[in-house]
């Protein structure tokens, strides 16, 4: 597995400049974009009609990045898509004008805030989320999967108590095992990360990670921490494994707010800025770029599938 270092290139803002690429990808290789922790509650003092401030409520700016890149064929929303509680009215007032502009290609995952009970138009059971996204929200647990190019992309509900658990014998675990057999190259995504840069892991997701490692998953995408981080490929015990390990990206940079990563253990790159992760899916490999709202590529690289 090879990794390429950070690259800075010019980028087109929504106003109409042009992003330049070092090399053109094969036209049949689809690109995805991903980010979580996206839209402010419309009652927030930082909302300002959806325009936000220089430091908060930047969902429109991150949405502009996606909208400007016509190569993007699917968008993975990594949970906490709408604050404060995922109410339908909040989705319609805040998320929809910012990211609803490309709703037809969004494949979301649930976050903890979709289940909150304080905010605009709250309803139990993440009802606003399921109603807003419809069929794209997945099954009754919030799990879903789809194929793009030669890749299988698998969404899970990290809010374990609302999805029948996250343990090794849970319905979600069975779903994950089955979906991992459907393609050589796979991306799995849910909201709260297993690794946070510290010496400990989130025990709730140990079974997911064991299954991914055994099933040769390539990439896991998470949000929840409002920053960007790329980790070395790891096994379920925090050991770097460049041959079989799963590479985790945290992309909690969709617009709500920003803070720093908890630590630096096995972390290869970080960026505390709003932006989206773009991943080009090749037949047996992938390359990534984390693009900030300023247009600068802050992290990039390439790796092969297992």
Q: Which of 182, 133, 153 is nearest to 31 (CA)?
A: 153
Tokens of 4: 């390429």
CA gap 227, 250 in Å, rounded? 7
pLDDT along the chain (306 residues), means of 10: 37 34 56 98 97 97 97 98 98 98 98 97 98 98 98 98 98 98 98 96 97 98 98 97 97 98 97 98 98 97 97
pTM of the model: 0.91
CB 35 within 8 A of CB 278: no
What are the start-end ranges of the E strands in 29-150? 31-35, 72-78, 106-109, 144-148
pLDDT attached to residue 86: 98
**Which architecture, in CATH terms, is 31-287?**
4-Layer Sandwich (3.60)
H or E element that contains 225: none
E strands, 225-274, are 228-231, 247-251, 267-271
d(CA 269, CA 6): 9
Q: Euclidean distance between the first and final Cα of the chain, in Å?
A: 9
Q: What is the pLDDT of residue 28?
A: 76
The DSSP secondary-structure symbol of 25 reads P
Over residues 279-291, the pLDDT tens digits come to 999 999 999 999 9
Strand segments (E) across 29-93: 31-35, 72-78
119-170, pLDDT tens digit by residue? 999 999 999 999 999 999 999 999 999 999 999 999 999 999 999 999 999 9
For the CA atoms of the chain, what is the radius of gyration?
18
Helices first, then strands: H and E counts in the chain: 6, 13
CA angle 46, 47, 53 (to 5 degrees): 55
**Encoding tokens for residue 67?**
């909208």
């Amino acid at each position: 597995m090879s990794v390429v270092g950070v690259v800075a290139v010019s980028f087109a803002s929504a106003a109409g400049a042009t992003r330049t690429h070092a090399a053109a990808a094969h036209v049949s290789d689809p690109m995805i974009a991903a980010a979580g922790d996206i839209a402010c509650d419309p009652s927030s003092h930082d909302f300002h009609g959806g325009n936000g401030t220089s430091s908060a409520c930047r969902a429109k700016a991150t949405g502009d990045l996606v909208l400007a890149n016509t190569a993007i064929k699917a968008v993975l929303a990594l949970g906490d898509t709408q604050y404060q509680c995922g109410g339908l009215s909040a989705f319609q007032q805040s998320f929809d004008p910012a990211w609803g502009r490309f709703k037809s290609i969004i494949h979301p995952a649930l976050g903890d805030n979709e289940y909150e009970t304080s905010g605009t138009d709250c309803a139990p059971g993440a009802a606003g989320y399921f109603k807003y996204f419809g069929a794209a929200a997945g099954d009754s647990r919030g799990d879903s999967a789809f194929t793009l190019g030669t890749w299988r992309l698998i969404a899970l509900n990290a809010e374990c108590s609302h999805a029948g658990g996250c343990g090794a014998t849970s319905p979600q675990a069975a779903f994950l095992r089955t979906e991992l057999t459907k393609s050589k190259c796979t991306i799995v995504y849910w909201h709260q990360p297993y690794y946070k840069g510290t010496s400990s892991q989130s025990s709730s997701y140990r079974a997911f990670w064991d299954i991914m490692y055994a099933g040769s998953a390539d990439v896991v995408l998470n949000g929840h921490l409002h920053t960007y981080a790329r980790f070395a490929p790891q096994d379920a015990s925090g050991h770097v494994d460049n041959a079989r390990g799963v590479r985790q990206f945290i992309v909690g940079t969709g617009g709500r707010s920003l803070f720093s990563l908890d630590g630096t253990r096995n972390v290869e790159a970080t960026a505390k800025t709003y932006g989206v992760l773009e991943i080009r899916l090749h037949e047996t490999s992938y390359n990534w770029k984390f693009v900030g709202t300023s247009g600068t590529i802050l992290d990039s690289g390439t790796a092969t599938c297992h």
